[in-house]
Amino acid sequence: MKLNDLRDNPGASKKRMRVARGPGSGKGKMGGRGIKGQKSRSGVAIKGYEGGQMPLYQRLPKRGFNNRNRKSFAVVNLGLIQKFIDAGKLGTDITEDSLVESGLVRRKKDGVRVLAKGDFSAKATISVTGASQGAIDAVEKAGGSLTVDAAPAVAEA
């Protein structure tokens, strides 16, 4: 076998349809767009339009409420903090900045919130924006302390 003998399997590749390139192409004259009208023209996008009928997205009932001022916290479990302490990536004095530096949290968002999932045995002082009651109890049971700082108030303009 030589390089010039190499061929693709039959039917593996298909030539693309060249639209509006004469009557012999099978897609000539109007190029498959029909006759006249808005959709035969270029630069037209009629998304969600149903010919004057009430569109589906307007017929369906609206539910719920999206709060624009909702806070989004980075979430960390105690078990992961313990793993990082055991690995030497975190010390016993833990702040939100040290969590980001260690790579446990990607970014702080509106603050870091600690949850009680996992075992925690280190005697550490943790200072974060939020924590569950179970997490606070677990840290204090291990002999450490978990302080919750109020999130900095955002000045409204």
What CATH number does residue 111 fall under? 3.100.10.10
The answer to whether residue 33 sits within a structural domain is no
pLDDT at 43: 83
What is the C-alpha separation between 17 and 14, in angstroms, rounded?
Answer: 9
Residue 128's domain spans which residues? 74-148
pLDDT at 92: 86
User: Which tokens is 4 given?
Assistant: 């010039």
pLDDT at 151: 54
pLDDT at 72: 93
The answer to whether residue 121 sits within a structural domain is yes
The answer to whether residue 19 sits within a structural domain is no
What's the structural domain count of the chain?
1
Going by C-alpha positions, the residue among 74, 128, 135 that lies closest to residue 96 is 128
Helix (H) / strand (E) element for 127: namely strand 125-128
Per-residue pLDDT tens, the chain, 157 aa: give them: 999 999 999 999 999 999 999 999 999 999 999 999 888 998 887 888 888 899 999 999 999 999 999 999 999 999 999 999 999 988 889 999 999 999 999 998 899 999 999 999 989 999 999 999 999 999 999 999 999 987 554 545 4
The answer to whether residue 32 sits within a structural domain is no
The answer to whether residue 105 sits within a structural domain is yes
pLDDT at 39: 85
The answer to whether residue 47 sits within a structural domain is no
pLDDT at 100: 93
Chain centroid to CA 59: how far?
29
